[in-house]
Structure 1
Amino acid sequence: MPTRPLTCTQCQPKLLAYVHNQLADSDRRRVARHLNDCPVCYAAYLAQREVAQELAGTIPSIGLPDSLQLNRMWLAIQSDMNRPRTIPRPQLARMGVACLVFVLALLLPWSLDKQQVALAVPPPPRAPVVTASLNVTASPESGRRALPPTAAASSTEAVIPAAKTPDTPSNVQDTR
């Protein structure tokens, strides 16, 4: 049974597949028969074929890998994967040093002696202390009258105890 010939609206969507040999044999024969009879569709076919040839000449490597090139690439990938890594990464070393410095900065206050930390605060000022004494000299045997009492005053500087802070232990002594 003979097949019906294609119309232009049926043929033109199939031209791209016809140019790239992607049609089944029966459809290919029907499109070829229509192109022999229709000058409009034949002109569209020539334009499609020219664009396809220009693209194939300009960009030949798209979608068509060279097997030798692929083999070289796979060999390079395999050798890179099999190579032992003996050199430590510098970023890991930097991160290790940064972590060590951070931990030391956190532990430094606890490692110092508490007395040294307390003495870092300036000492309080010394307050003057005045002491008075009364000397009475009398001799009951002499029968004499007692001498008037003499007063003596002396001024010394006394140490005012340092204020206790929550961090200062109670057994800290002033070394002044």
Structure 2
Amino acid sequence: MKIRRSWGRRGGGHEMTCQQAVNHITAYLDGALAGRDRDKLERHLEECPHCWEHLKQIEATIRVAGAGPGDDLDPLAREDLLEIYRRWRADQRPVD
């Protein structure tokens, strides 16, 4: 990933909010973010030191944690973790 950071540059504003950027970081790191969203995120990361730092923190977490237990995880524990994640994710949705 080659992102040119130009912090402090004043320009036409962001096409993506920090909240949107944070929501796309995982997909970006997984290589699952493509097209316009990827371009917008990369432009945002070039201009936003806070989101750039968040990206670096996620990358460091992935490096430290390595591959998760995957198939070694007990099926009931896996289901519990998925349910916790689903509840957390539902709480993160914006209220209209």
Q: Offset of 1:61 from its aligned partner?
A: 6.9
Aligned to 1:26: 36
Match of residue 10 from structure 1: 20
Map of 2:70 onto structure 1: 62
Deviation at 1:55, TM superposition (A): 2.4
Q: Structure 2 matches for 1:22-171, cutoff 5 A? A: 22-56=32-66, 59=67, 62=70
Question: Per residue, is there more helix in 1 or in 2?
Answer: 2
State the TM-score, normalizing by the size of structure 2: 0.51
Identity of aligned residues (%): 26
Per-residue deviation, residues 7-29 of structure 1 (Å, max 9, x unmatched): 11211111111111111222111
Deviations 1:93-140 (A, max 9, x none): xxxxxxxxxxxxxxxxxxxxxxxxxxxxxxxxxxxxxxxxxxxxxxxx
Give the structure, 1 or 2, with the largest relative contact order (CA under 8 Å, sep 6 or more).
Answer: 2
How big is each residue's C-alpha offset from its partner over 1:61-92, in whole Å with a ceiling of 9 and x where there is no partner?
A: 736xxxxxxxxxxxxxxxxxxxxxxxxxxxxx
How far the C-alpha of 1:60 sits from its partner, in A, is: 6.7
Distance between the aligned counterparts of 1:53 and 1:26, measured in 2? 27
More strand by share: 1
Which string of whole-angstrom CA distances, capped at 9 and with x for unpartnered residues, describes residues 8-56 of structure 1? 1211111111111111222111101100100010010100111112223
Alignment-mate amino acid for residue 37 of structure 1? E
Q: TM-score normalized by structure 1? A: 0.30
Aligned length: 58
- Extract unaligned runs of 5+ from structure 2: 1-13, 72-96
Whole-angstrom CA distance in 1 between matches of 2:30 and 2:51 = 16
**Counterpart residue number, 2:80:** none
Larger Rg: 1
Q: For structure 1, list consecutive stretches of 5 or more residues without a partner in the other structure.
A: 64-176
